Chain A
């Protein structure tokens, strides 16, 4: 009998069983996303208030002073392609995950990874450079500001937001905002890029909060409400003012995108983790809506990444006109910017850079709104995510929209052509139909050329024209004689109320439903 060996292997197996079982169960014990975030903030705050003595400050400030750019350029930054494949599976997965339920979610060890391949691309060092003061100090001010607003919303919900408290909160908002601006100003001395980044980050927080408040007010008015919403002007205007200050303080020279990418990566990862972890208070529809917006944001970011890498090839002297066809973003700034970019001309380095920044700004603000939406239950109660963050359609969706608009236009045209055109509107109708044809043709051509914005506007025009022409023809009776495009100025006995007064009495046509005999 090989007792020894047998027993050893048996024990070995038993031991690994035990270990496995135990590990499996213990792995499930960990910090919740919000707990982790808060704990981290507490620790960073502790570090803030107990800073390193001068002799120990190795490189945070030294490195920041101008050399971050050179540090980053030496590394191949965008070596990863954020393919559509990931995105689709991410979106689908995002929805499935919610349907499957919470217990499964809790057991996944790294919520961010599978769904957020973007994490891979960000330069580690750049990412961690965000972790520290004075940049973190600005973020901390922003966080505290958000917290006070959140508390105010809660109080308002409970009907306990007195004028005094409101004024206090407004005062706190101002204080945090001023403090942040001061820090940014000081930061400009040592790290102008960091200062620009901090400005963008802070402004985005304020913008998100301002939008939330505005939307909350609007929806309260619609609901004919109640003291449930922080509809007060004092607080809302404090936030808007702070936002205006933040915007006006921004310099012309934009921040370099690298750190902005890192910032967005960090925030979107957090947003994704939050989405995964939403256990209560989120309906399936809400979760899908949120997932959709996250996907929109990551599409924007990858668009920005594409532009950014096209910048690299521009720098190398290869004047490849980057496909900067006017992409629709939800910011008017971006629209204005892309409007000035001629599609034919090779875009200048600065303009591409500026577009990257503006896309990222929008993405950042949207992300902050989402985070606010998910972490602040009062926000969820007072605003609708659909209105807070409008959907950005994918290219496929846009094409589909254009096509259905054209379908509708064609349908209307068909209806027009099938009817008899009353005389007094004949010329208008003819003209209208002509324009309609042109618009449809323009739109189709634009679709082929992948100029989506042009296609969209042409399609919208076509639909509008079609509606107009259709309205002109009104309830005119249907033509039974099938003529292709010309409309016959025929007289006919009307079936319903008669707008037609010009009776020529030449031809008679039979109508489908005749009530009066033909004269």
Chain B
């Protein structure tokens, strides 16, 4: 009974490992779900369903070496399902077929992610992320909140690195313009106040 230091030790039984995964990743999964869905209760339900699904998988005899990527994958799929069910605003539908073409690669060459983030307010970005279509939310949250690496993201979303990169770019640009818009509004309001 000496295996206390190894985290994903198969010596421990399935139930323990599974519940441990809940302890470890529960909050992070909820955070992700909430940032995507914006409804607290539904987010909790989605997280519950995620764990339920993964448990069924374990029951079926599949060995899960590392719970984290698996949980995220299931969660992400469930969230996408939620969106499909909800049939969100046309804006989403518009961006759904967000193709990546020649022009897109040009975008990549022009600005790096770093330069897009420069001078961008992280706090406001998070606040406004809910106004973005889900395709962008997905990559932005996975990248900046869950801090997934490029390879992890490709495995999760099942798109190429380039596609993901393009989405990140577009998402950030959108965020930037949303923030600027907001600040412009704020300035305008202040001006009108001082006038009166």
A residues near B (Cβ < 8 Å) are 10-12, 14-15, 17-26, 29-31, 35-36, 39-40, 42-44, 46-47, 50-53, 55-60, 63, 71, 74-75, 124-125, 128-129, 131-132
Contact = CB atoms under 8 A, between A and B. Distances in A.
Given A44-B19, A56-B61, A26 B14 contact: no
5 contacts: A11-B117, A15-B114, A52-B15, A59-B12, A131-B16
Nearest to B29: A31
Interface stretch (B93-101, B122-130, B155-163): B122-130
Contacts of A10: 118
B110 interface: no
Contact of B55 (A14, A46, A53, A71): A46
A58 B14 contact: yes
A170 to B, nearest CB: 31
A47 B15 contact: yes
Contacts of B34: 29
A129 B26 CA distance: 19
A31 B26 contact: yes
Interface in B8-45: 11-16, 18-20, 22, 26-27, 30-31, 34-35, 44
Nearest to B112: A11
A18 B120 CA distance: 6
Contacts of A131: 15-16, 19
Contacts, number: 133
Nearest to B113: A15
A21 B122 contact: yes
B44 A39 contact: yes
Interface of B: 1, 4, 11-16, 18-20, 22, 26-27, 30-31, 34-35, 44, 47-48, 51-52, 55-56, 58-59, 61, 112-115, 117-123, 125-127, 144-145
Given A52-B58, A56-B58, 15 more contacts: A14-B119, A15-B113, A15-B118, A18-B144, A21-B122, A21-B123, A43-B22, A46-B51, A47-B15, A56-B14, A57-B13, A58-B12, A58-B13, A125-B1, A131-B15
Contacts of A12: 114
Contacts of B18: 47
A364 B11 CA distance: 31
A14 B125 CA distance: 14
A231 B144 CA distance: 55
Nearest to A44: B19
A24 B123 contact: yes
A201 B35 CA distance: 38
A29 B35 contact: yes
| Complex A-B, nearest 3 residue pairs according to Cβ-Cβ distance, in ascending order | A21-B122, A22-B122, A14-B118
B119 A50 contact: no
Contacts of B58: 52, 56
Given A11-B118, A22-B145, A25-B126, A50 B13 contact: no
B118 to A, nearest CB: 4
A69 to B, nearest CB: 11
Contact of A19 (B4, B16, B144): B144
B114 A14 contact: yes
Nearest to A123: B4
A364 B123 CA distance: 43
A43 B13 contact: no
B113 to A, nearest CB: 8
Contacts of A42: 48
Contact of A30 (B15, B31, B114): B31
A25 B1 contact: no
B4 to A, nearest CB: 6
Nearest to B118: A14
Contacts of A23: 122, 144-145
Nearest to B16: A128
A26 B19 CA distance: 24
Given A11-B118, A39-B44, A26 B15 contact: no
A50 to B, nearest CB: 6
Given A18-B117, A58-B13, A43 B51 contact: yes
A31 B55 contact: no
Contacts of A29: 30-31, 34-35
Nearest to A31: B30
Contacts of B20: 128
B80 to A, nearest CB: 20
A60 B61 CA distance: 17
A22 B22 contact: no
Nearest to A17: B122
A519 B161 CA distance: 117
B4 A124 contact: yes
Nearest to A57: B13
A19 B30 CA distance: 20
Given A11-B115, A39-B47, A25 B123 contact: yes
A71 B1 CA distance: 6
A44 B20 CA distance: 12
Contact of A74 (B1, B61, B122): B1
Nearest to A59: B13
A26 B27 contact: no
A209 to B, nearest CB: 27
Nearest to B19: A131
Nearest to B115: A11
Contact of B122 (A20, A35, A58, A132): A20
B48 A22 contact: no
Contacts of B1: 71, 74-75, 125
A36 B28 CA distance: 12
